Structure 1
Amino acid sequence: MATPLTIQKPMLFKICLLLFSVTTIATKDAASATVGPIFIFGDSIVDVGTNNYLKNCTAQVNHPYYGVDYPHSIATGRFSNGLNPADCVVALLGGYKESPPPFLALLAHSSNLTGDLLHGVNFASGGAALVKGVRKQVVGNVVSYEEQIQQFATVNGNITALLGKSKGQLLIQGSMYIICVGSNDIVNYVFSHPTTPEVFIANITAIYAIHLKNLYNLGARKFGIMGVPPLGCCPISRAISGGACTKEINDVASAFYTSLKSLLKNLSSTLEGFKYSLANSYNMTMSVIENPPTGFKDVKTPCCGNHPLAGINDCMEGGYLCPKRDNHLFWDAFHPSEAASKLAARVLVFGEDPNFVTPINFSTLRKA
């Protein structure tokens, strides 16, 4: 499931040679900004093309109809008809039109590396999980959350080399870290049941804590966390259950949010300078399903890959594509439509309801 570390070593050397050879760099905006850049970690909900660069990875969507509503209808590797939640959130936070580029894309196009590193990076990889290797038999090679943090450690070191230790750490500490992970762990658990739900939740919460502390030790201070949505209500779950939401999956997702909320509260009281905003993606999604906002006509079936007479199929060119994507909550069997992502982003960034985002929203966290 994880990208072999042997891929990174020659590339890291290449980065170091490039960065240390640079004598003049465009750092004025990054160094003088009141807030630092944005770094994004997680799974397919916020992946903007990482998996396009991976071999032996089946979790790739660099083909139509993905991207049908992205500028010029380009299938960028986003698991969406257009923009995804990462794009929509950073655009509302300011300073971005869409998500920063994938780390692996920056490596592949190193001529722009120096400037891009200082304006944020997206490390997210579709299929990634808190536990390294989860669902590898299904998705093949992906960049695990653990390895995403290792990649950030490389970026951290190079930013320090570019700006100097003092300015580099100020930039890192002023940056925002958006994280969306955990869904794949829960899906894997529901299909395997290696232990009780209580033990499973305790285990992945403990692993999450380790990862957050590792980021904190690298200088991260402002964490924007997206919780896990009601996975039992996604189209594939409904298809398997005969149309209804799957209570077992939803119960685990809800319990994980409660455990994560407790963890973050604890970390904020024990780690100096640790600040966070936690999005209750479960409540946010259920509120749309139970009381659809104006414009949402279908909150159960996917826009792409599904047809009322055919059940759930892959989202592929030549298959079924709904004519009005903005009417749908779900784009494919698992992921939100661009319209849903924009709706969620407004709540995350500007929302004041603690049932949806707590203890502060993403905008307040960004300025903290």
Structure 2
Amino acid sequence: MASFASNNYGLVLLFVLYSLAMLGMQVANGTKDAPTLFIFGDSTFDVGTNNFLMSKSKANFPYNGIDFYHSFPTGRFSNGFNTADQIARQFGYQQSPPPFLTLERNRYIFQKSILQGVNFASGGSGILRDTGSLEWGEVIFLGNQVEQFSSVRDNLTEILGPVKAATFVSKALFLISVGSNDFFDFARNESGSIHLGAEEYLAVVQLTYFSHIKKLYELGARKFGIVSIAPIGCCPAVSSLNGGKCVKALNDFAVAFHSTTRDLLQRLSYELEGFQFSLGNSFVMTTTILKSPSSFGFKETRSACCGSGYLNGQVGCIKAQNASLCAKRKEFLFWDWFHPTEIASELAAKTLFGGGIEFVSPINFSQLAYS
């Protein structure tokens, strides 16, 4: 999550126009039976939401997007496509559906566009309402993203009628990648719940997560593709402050979060008729790479490709602030101080789409979508 904010209206307008142009490409390249995608979460999935916010968590400036179309910095925290894009590409789309805030500002195409999916993810956000606000300013937490989907759901009913809209939503794939920022905030004592111990805080996070997912179910969602937390204690922003070593406490949160999320989803599948899920274990996926990086084509798994300071992990990827930029981006696991490179996101998406139960369970995203 970059700390440099660009609030230039012209850049926002340019991004809107660019997003609309890319929307046609996204629609045109979806396979005939590709599921509609509704995408929620944080900066791992954000494709430009935060461009519209008074937030320090932005990526709409170089070197971000250097490997995207025309080297355009769209607001993705990546050198190119991010994980949301890469999952969409597995289903035959060119990229993720556009941000809700892009479509909301262009009402004349809003109803047509939402039939192709919407991305609600916001960099710096989390499961809890206050997550990210002290560190990054304005972000859209998961509960508000669900409220935005509620307005989309109302429009779908208006377009299709109640029966067809319910069927349409039930067949869509709801992708969620969130939780890291809740635990970063706890580690910084910015959670608003600093009086809680680690176990109690985790319980509050999961109870809140339960309410958000159940609300989506009540709005008609049935298929949930959930991405759990990677070993966040190993990202350059954290390890650079720990002598280059991973921070065990944060990684322990990631392991516990996966376990409690699995239990949560299993409970929902027992209680709610038609509820289906696929849970990606990002911790295991990433640690597998860390144990044998060369097996996956990586030569650098500690330092970020782009940034400043030790391990390029002490300042974000900001060209205007003289960030250093690696030449061989396909050899790096980390793009910036928090986020994976495009190639790492592609590897993750392929694993989520077609991987075995050691990485994604009880079924993978492909099986979930076409079940």
Same fold (TM over 0.5): yes
Which of the numbers 93, 108, 112 marks the counterpart of 2:109? 112
Structure 2 counterpart of 1:141: 138
**Fraction of identical pairs, as percent:** 43
* Matched-pair contact (CA < 8 Å) for 2:238–2:313: no
The change in CA–CA distance for 1:309 and 1:348 in structure 2 (over 3 A counts) is closer
Q: Indicate if the aligned counterparts of 1:62 and 1:75 stay in contact, CA closer than 8 A.
A: yes
Residue aligning to 1:25: none
Give TM-score scaled by structure 1 length: 0.88
SS of the residue corresponding to residue 236 of structure 1 reads helix
Structure 1 residues without counterparts, runs of 5 or longer? 1-28
**Aligned CA distance change for structure 1 residues 203 and 308 (closer, same or farther; 3 Å):** closer
Correspondence for 1:53: 52
- Counterparts of 2:127 and 2:304 in 1: how far apart (Å)? 26
Given the alignment of the two structures, is residue 343 of structure 1 paired with residue 344 of structure 2, yes or no? Answer: no
| 1:311, distance to aligned residue in structure 2 (A) | 6.0
Q: Tell me the residue number matched to 1:65.
A: 63
8 Å Cα contact 2:353/2:365 also seen in 1: yes
Q: Structure 1 residues 311, 179: closer, same or farther in 2, change over 3 A?
A: closer
Query: How far apart in 2 are the matches of 1:225 and 1:290?
Result: 24
Q: Does the aligned pair in 2 maintain the 1:36–1:171 contact within 8 Å?
A: no
**What are structure 2's unaligned runs of at least 5 residues?**
1-27
Query: In structure 1, the residue corresponding to 2:127 is in which secondary structure?
Result: coil
Name the residue aligned to 2:169: 172
TM-superposed deviation, 1:306? 3.6
C-alpha deviation, 1:133, in angstroms:
1.6
CA distance in 1, matches of 2:331, 2:200: 39
2: CA distance, partners of 1:124 / 1:57? 14
The alignment partner of 1:240 has SS state of coil
- Using a 3 Å threshold, how does the CA distance of structure 1 residues 267 and 242 change in structure 2: closer, same or farther? same
Runs of 4+ in 1 over 6 A off after TM superposition: none
Aligned residue in 2 for 1:361: 364
Q: CA shift at 1:112, angstroms?
A: 2.1
- Letter paired with 1:291: S
2:240 corresponding residue in structure 1: 239
Scaled by the length of structure 2, what TM-score is found? 0.87
Checking the alignment, whether the CA contact within 8 Å between 1:80 and 1:336 is kept in structure 2 is yes
Name the residue aligned to 2:183. 186
Q: Say whether 1:78 aligns with 2:76.
A: yes
Structure 1 residues 112 and 133 mapped into 2: Cα distance closer, same or farther (>3 Å)?
A: same
Equivalent residue number for residue 24 of structure 1: none
Quote the Cα distance in structure 2 between the aligned partners of 1:343 and 1:309. 23
Q: Once the 2 structures are TM-superposed, how far is the Cα of residue 307 of structure 1 from its aligned partner?
A: 5.9
Match in the other structure for 2:298: 296
Alignment of 1:192-211 (within 5 A): 192=189, 193-211=194-212
Q: Is the 8 A contact 2:302 2:311 kept in 1?
A: no
Task: Report Cα offsets for 1:149-171 as digits up to 9, x if no partner.
Answer: 00000000101100111111100
Correspondence for 1:334: 338
> How far is the alpha carbon of 1:200 from its aligned partner?
1.2
Write the letter of the residue equivalent to 1:349.
F
In 2, Cα distance between equivalents of 1:326 and 1:306: 19
Kindly indicate whether residue 266 of structure 2 is the aligned counterpart of residue 269 of structure 1. no
Q: Aligned partners of 2:313, 2:55: CA distance in 1, in Å?
A: 25
Q: Which AA in structure 2 matches 1:191?
A: R
Q: How does 1:150-161 map to 2 (within 5 A)?
A: 150-161=147-158
Alpha-carbon distance in 2 for matches of 1:309, 1:302: 6
Measure, in 2, the Cα distance between the counterparts of 1:300 and 1:194.
Answer: 33
Corresponding residue for 2:281?
280
Q: How far is 1:267 from its partner?
A: 0.6
- Cα-to-partner distance string for 1:27-83 (whole Å, 9 max, x where unaligned): xx9xxx7564110000000000000011x2111111000000001000000000000
The answer to whether the 8 A contact 2:313-2:336 is kept is: no
Question: 1:5 is matched with which residue?
Answer: none
How far does residue 239 in structure 1 lie from its aligned partner after superposition? 0.5
Asked whether the equivalents of residues 43 and 127 of structure 1 are also in contact (C-alpha less than 8 Å), the reply is yes
Question: Tell me, what secondary structure is at the counterpart of 2:279?
Answer: strand
